[in-house]
Amino acid sequence: MGRQLSVADFDAIYDTFEVSVWRWESQPVYDEPDEREPFERWRAGGQDDLSWLQGWLDLVRSATAAGREFRRVRRVTDTPSDYQRWLATAVRANIEAGEEVRTLREDQVPKLGLPSYDFLLVDNRSVAKMQFDDGRFLGATLHEDTGTVDRHRAWLAAAWQHASPIDAIRGVRERR
């Protein structure tokens, strides 16, 4: 059994990890309050200035400059939704800041035995299994037992090996 983490406790992981954080993203949509307005503006044909993302980008730049690693594999549907296409354009800033991001086609998920929940592998020592309600992040359960960590590490390694660079998403459109 793991230890329950609040959203704030989960967020603190990014300030305290020592070596690496690897994220598996399987939700079709994330309902993040700070993303709503930029996403709707993008859908309407407007420009996303990414101001909502600056805190994250600063964190990634600082951590990667110190030699720490951020990796993410994002599950995408065969026909990417507007939300997935928007993320594919916005995430370029993450990559420029030092985060490594790939996408995995939805049809690959069951072949690789990947879970339907999101998780974060922290320093190869712990796993935070994330909980959502209709895309809204509620918190996570932190697990540190070797079996759980090893299983999630293997899943991420398989996902990373089979994933593609973010630009491989069909239908990504630039907004200029």
- Give the start-to-end residue ranges of the domains of the chain: 3-168
Cβ proximity of 142 and 127 under 8 Å: yes
| Alpha carbon distance, N-terminus to C-terminus of the chain | 48
If 0-12 CB within 10 Å is exposed, 13-18 middle and 19+ buried, where does residue 112 land? middle
pLDDT tens digits, the chain, 176 residues: what are they?
Answer: 899 999 999 999 999 999 999 999 999 899 999 999 999 999 999 988 999 999 999 999 999 999 999 999 999 988 888 998 898 888 989 999 999 999 999 999 999 999 999 999 999 999 999 999 999 999 999 999 999 999 999 999 999 999 998 765 544 444 43
Sequence-separated (6 or more) residues with CB below 8 Å from residue 87: 74
For 3-168, CATH gives 3.30.870.10
Q: How far apart are CA 128 and CA 12, in angstroms?
A: 12
Sequence-separated (6 or more) residues with CB below 8 Å from residue 98: 60, 61, 63, 64, 65, 70
And the tokens for 133? 């309600």
Predicted TM-score (pTM) of this structure: 0.91
Q: How far apart are CA 42 and CA 49, in angstroms?
A: 10
Residue with tokens 């992040």: 137
Q: How far apart are CA 83 and CA 25, in angstroms?
A: 14
